Structure 1
Amino acid sequence: MLRARPGRSSVTALPRPAPYAAVRAELVDSAPLTLTLTGRGLLLRAVYDGEHCRLELDGMTGPVVLRSRRAGRVEAAASLALCLTGTHVSVLTQDHPGGPWTGRARTDLAGTHPAAARLVRTAAWLEDLQVGHDGRALSLVAGGFGQLGLRDLRLVTHADGRPYDDGTGLLRFLATSAGPGPFGSGHTSVWALDPSALDQSTRDHSARDHDGEALVHTADLYVRRLDSRGVQGDHAGHLLRDDDAWLLATSTWGDFDPDRDDAAVAVTLAATGADLLTGVHVVAAEPLPLPVDGPSVGVWDPHLLRTDDGWLVGYVSASRFFRFHPVLAEGPDLDTLRLRAADPGRRASEGTTLLALPPAAPDEDPRGGGEPGDAAGSPRTTVLVSDGRDGPRGLRGQWAVLDLDLRPRGVLAAAYPSNIPWPTLVPHGDDWLLVTFDDTRHGGRVCGYGTHGDVVVMRGSRPAS
């Protein structure tokens, strides 16, 4: 991270491990300012002339000027930012320090300049990256891109499903840091939640301030796939500790384009001994083949659980974009998974989650959320899915509780936010925490869909036995 009180102009090296970089500056009395991100063969420039913002590209793209007639007019900007997120390049402003960011110009190089899109994913271009400015600025901050919205929160666990415990009392979550654009502008991040910082006087707490004390950003994770030289911001996944290694399963949204004839989404799996809870990492990932119950254009939202009998993997499969349903696979290891169950009757269900419950007490119903016939004292596993409001009647806007054959067992008694929030349920003392998100969008019209959501935390009590 580069922080400076610059003079009239500057050029500074800013090597990055992945094509996710940003520079922002606080303006002096809305005076004109230019920000640049430059690598060998391609220059990206954000220009504010005191009244309008525009995005300029040069080099292998040739001179290109992009501006929005409506969103580009800014009479009094307090801050200016230039962002590269995957192949998306964006210019954003703030009306006042600490306020929300608004997109002023944006382009996806993959659609407009494919050669430039390939270039920004290469290690050579990223290692050569420089950040610069020209004009008056009170401060200059540059480094990796953070996020607009935050979504797809999933608990970091041990392989057996227990919340990962490093002795700090913090709960760790994997999330999708939304960029200023659709799927490919997001990336995977890691966050620490301090349950004691939540408001104990209410049963429903919204952690909407991503920089607040309750929720703290600790790491950014990027993926280098086996069949690709470029680095991707693949997300919507699960991070788990398996013995002395971290396993990271993600969905290949990093370069997804729904307009391509061969559009598809798959799941990859990475294993590493590096500490993925802190810092910035690029992990090497291989395909994780997941069985499906019929024609499928994609699988995503993987969640893994190791049991005494092997592995369970929950995910969704799409018969077409975007019609998707929960699927469960099992096998003695992750290389020999077979289909266990699917529920194609659910047409808008995401976030398939395997919840490992403690063994049933002798006087409890041993079937409560587990398998029919479970013996008291045996571990229990429940499947949770989120049924969006576009699903069939009777399966809309609810958190479904299923058994391992995906048969209904009930629903969670909890408010259901907008979008298709994931059912991340976490035991906390005598209570449960439901840590999820909604579809609150950020960045305005130019950034469009994909910039959501806000984090929502709900607290509920466990029923008395």
Structure 2
Amino acid sequence: MDHGTTSPLASPALDRRAILKTAGISSLAVAAAASSADAATAPGRGPTPWSLDFSVVRRQRPVDLVARGFEQLRDRFEDRSQRYERLSPTGRPGRVRLQGGHLKVTGTSFFTLFRSTTRQVAPYAAVVVDVARGGTSQGTVMSGLVKDADNYVVAWYDQAAGSVGLDVSVGGEVQTLATAEASLQRPFQLGFGLTSTTVVALVDDGSGFRPLAKGNLTGIVDLRRPAALAQWRNGFGVRAPSGTVVLDGVTAGYFGQLGLRDPHLVTRADGTPYLKDGKAYLTFTQAGLGFFETAHWGVWTMDVRTFELTQVANLFFQRDGERTVLGDHAGHIVFDDRSDRWIIANSTWGDFTGESVQVNYVTLPERRSPLRGVHVLRTRKLPLPVAQLPSAAVGQWDPHLTRIGRRWYVAFVNARAFFNFYPALARSGPGEDFTDLRLVGADDDKVETEGTVLQKFGERWYVLASNGDASPAAIRGQYPVYDLTMRQVGRLDAPHPTNIPWPMVIPVPLRNNRTRWLMVTFNGTQLNEELLGYGTHGDLIVMRADRTTYGHQFKPLPR
């Protein structure tokens, strides 16, 4: 996971760049990586990581407040098919009518909340209300989550005051978490976003959503607990001293993403890419509304010809012994056809406080595919060996699992401290499972190298990684390549667009018995960092090798 806009109530717990500035990480006199000058492919052995020259062919950034394909509520107020519970915190609800695709609320000193029947099973939600052109200029509109008349959390826009903000009511006691000045002309959209404990009010008056106010629910109400969240529904509201407030529609569902990072190809146990109908299945860390704990994990398809992206799954997690639902991410999904199971391993960034991170895992039977729909999965710790570190080491992350021969190999990252880390490799004994691991080796000369990926080129397997900005100048911005003893044998020839971009190489089989080589990574471009803080990166970057190679690196999957 690459650690590559501010509310006084909810500033990020840690900023990686600030940590690095104060950590005093000294440059090491490390020799440069082995030369890649010999670019020729050895006859009969196929390509090597350093015989391919990658260049950028596409850069894109899907930004969605409500995740496409994961809408739970979409109402244009054209009929009465969608039912709402009408609530009034003040006991004066106003008169409601549907007319010509509009919802109109009229009265004197009225306050009406509309609680839908729809909800999410994880605290990653978004609600968008379309505010119509007509109606009173004295009204306030709201979007958010509603439990009852005394319990709600909403983004609001007060047209008379020219301000936007966030309110949370618990037991009838209302707290305003944040406010900001705003002057909007109707029509516009008012958005509410929840990612873990962070809430944000956003508006779109024609140029896309922009966040204006940010708050945090910590210590007020914990919607990460399933029993609590189950009582809350997608909702919206209006209030005014007099006149009519007019709405054109409401959309709600799972929160989408501000950026995509940490691309990881879904594979079979032997490393075969999960490619179906010309589409590769990948997992991404979907950037939330703030630091690492606001992100979550999703499964996407990418057309290997057009690079079009489509989200197909949302994955959330509960850990053994814990009740909260978290957005853990930065991991790998493997289908093990020998055991008819899915293996899901990721990193516990979902509640990151700067104390520790570990690799967790869960297995699912084949019929419970994680590649479609919404899942809340319970994980446990993967017992990775501690590579040349004391037991007090702070973390391990970025797992990649592959079965080579009769052994499982797991590449991962070891951390001495936040953020001072290096790549490592473990493997099982012959015939043992991926949970029975012993250390093979580690490159503990590195101080900021992560994004570990196991990839086969030709007849050989390699571990790929990425050197960050805190690396010594001689190796900074490189993708080191290791053999299966963790000896560095070269480096990947590809652009390095951010601090630590993952080198996710994808061998694509072609019909003419050749292989096209793609690489998917990301950059560190933030969105609205001045309010949301660090963590909203990045742009997705697709690269392609300068040539195809003979033969199929992996046998294509059946259609």
TM-score by length of 1: 0.85
Matches within 5 A, 1:168-183: 168-183=277-292
In structure 2, do the counterparts of structure 1 residues 4 and 444 end up closer, same or farther at CA, with 3 Å as the change threshold?
Answer: farther
Partner of residue 425 from structure 2, selected from 317, 328, 335: 328
1:385 paired residue number: 465
Matches within 5 A, 1:184-203: 184-198=293-307
Structure 2, unmatched stretches of 5+, are 1-71, 78-102, 105-111, 239-245, 551-559
Matches within 5 A, 1:78-97: 78-96=188-206
In the alignment, residue 172 of structure 1 is paired with which amino acid?
Answer: Y
Q: Contact 1:102–1:444 at 8 Å: present in 2 too?
A: no
Q: Contact 2:520–2:541 at 8 Å: present in 1 too?
A: yes
Give yes or no for the alignment of 1:248 onto 2:377.
no
| C-alpha distance in structure 1 between counterparts of 2:277 and 2:178, whole Å | 48
Partner of residue 140 from structure 1, selected from 250, 263, 267: 250
Higher relative contact order (CA 8 A, sep 6+): 2
| C-alpha distance in structure 2 between counterparts of 1:17 and 1:134, whole Å | 22
1:461 paired residue number: 546
2:475 paired residue number: 395
| C-alpha distance in structure 2 between counterparts of 1:397 and 1:95, whole Å | 40
| C-alpha distance in structure 2 between counterparts of 1:47 and 1:53, whole Å | 6
Partner of residue 129 from structure 2, selected from 15, 25, 45: 25
In the alignment, residue 214 of structure 2 is paired with which amino acid?
Answer: R
Give yes or no for the alignment of 1:257 onto 2:353.
yes
Q: Counterpart of 2:194 in 1: which secondary structure?
A: strand
Partner of residue 312 from structure 2, selected from 195, 199, 218: 218
Matches within 5 A, 1:244-393: 244-258=340-354, 263-273=355-365, 274-292=368-386, 293-295=388-390, 296-332=393-429, 333-359=433-459, 380-393=460-473
Q: Contact 1:88–1:106 at 8 Å: present in 2 too?
A: yes
| C-alpha distance in structure 1 between counterparts of 2:381 and 2:549, whole Å | 44
Q: Is the radius of gyration larger for structure 1 or structure 2?
A: 2
Structure 1, unmatched stretches of 5+, are 199-213, 360-379
Deviation at 1:122, TM superposition (A): 2.0
Report which stretch shifted further, 55-64 or 294-303. 55-64
Deviation at 1:245, TM superposition (A): 1.5
Q: What does the per-residue CA deviation read over 1:86-131, in whole Å, with 9 as the maximum and x for residues that have no partner?
A: 11111122241xx443222222333xx1x623xx122222222212
Q: Counterpart of 1:231 in 2: which secondary structure?
A: coil
Q: Contact 2:184–2:205 at 8 Å: present in 1 too?
A: no
Q: Counterpart of 1:184 in 2: which secondary structure?
A: helix
Q: Contact 1:13–1:128 at 8 Å: present in 2 too?
A: no
Partner of residue 504 from structure 2, selected from 404, 420, 424: 424
Q: Counterpart of 2:116 in 1: which secondary structure?
A: strand
| C-alpha distance in structure 1 between counterparts of 2:293 and 2:381, whole Å | 19
Q: Contact 1:53–1:74 at 8 Å: present in 2 too?
A: no
| C-alpha distance in structure 1 between counterparts of 2:225 and 2:457, whole Å | 44
Q: Contact 2:166–2:179 at 8 Å: present in 1 too?
A: no
In the alignment, residue 116 of structure 1 is paired with which amino acid?
Answer: V
Give yes or no for the alignment of 1:109 onto 2:217.
yes
| C-alpha distance in structure 1 between counterparts of 2:328 and 2:549, whole Å | 41
Q: What does the per-residue CA deviation read over 1:211-241, in whole Å, with 9 as the maximum and x for residues that have no partner?
A: xxx1111110011111211111100011110
| C-alpha distance in structure 2 between counterparts of 1:451 and 1:291, whole Å | 32
1:55 paired residue number: 166
- RMSD over aligned Cα, in angstroms? 2.1
Report which stretch shifted further, 99-108 or 226-235. 99-108
2:229 paired residue number: 126
Q: Contact 2:126–2:144 at 8 Å: present in 1 too?
A: no
| C-alpha distance in structure 1 between counterparts of 2:178 and 2:456, whole Å | 51
In structure 2, do the counterparts of structure 1 residues 172 and 74 end up closer, same or farther at CA, with 3 Å as the change threshold?
Answer: farther
